[in-house]
Amino acid sequence: MQLGRGGASTAAPPLPSPASTVAWLTKDLETSLKQEQEQHQLRQQQQQQLSLKAALRGQFVVKPQVMHTCMHREIKRRRSH
């Protein structure tokens, strides 16, 4: 019990039950995780759109890395024989 102004007693607010506290924290965590997932998906979509737009404008040069690697191995193999 606490004393308020003028010496009148004031009761402290009741503490929430453990079950309601856990429920509140769980709901808050779920909401935060859902918002983070939505933001992550939005960022991925924006990056893909930017990449597609840049590619359509010809800003990307696509190099056939797999082909280059295979040719490089073949050249090395032929030189070793």
C-beta separation of 44 from 37 below 8 A: no
Whether residue 5 is contained in a domain is answered as no
Q: What is the pTM of this model?
A: 0.45
- pLDDT tens digits for range 19-73: 999 999 999 999 999 999 999 999 888 877 777 777 777 765 555 555 556 666 7
In a domain, 8, yes or no: no
Confidence tier at 3 by pLDDT (50, 70, 90)? low
Report d(CA 18, CA 72) in Å as an integer: 66
Residue 61, in any domain of the structure: yes
What is the per-residue burial (b if ≥16 Cβ within 10 Å, else e) of 1-35?
eeeeeeeeeeeeeeeeeeeeeeeeeeeeeeeeeee
The answer as to whether 75 is a domain residue is: yes
Residue 12 domain-assigned (yes or no): no
C-beta neighbour count of 80 within 10 angstroms: 6
The DSSP bridge pattern shows strands 2-3 and 9-10 to be antiparallel
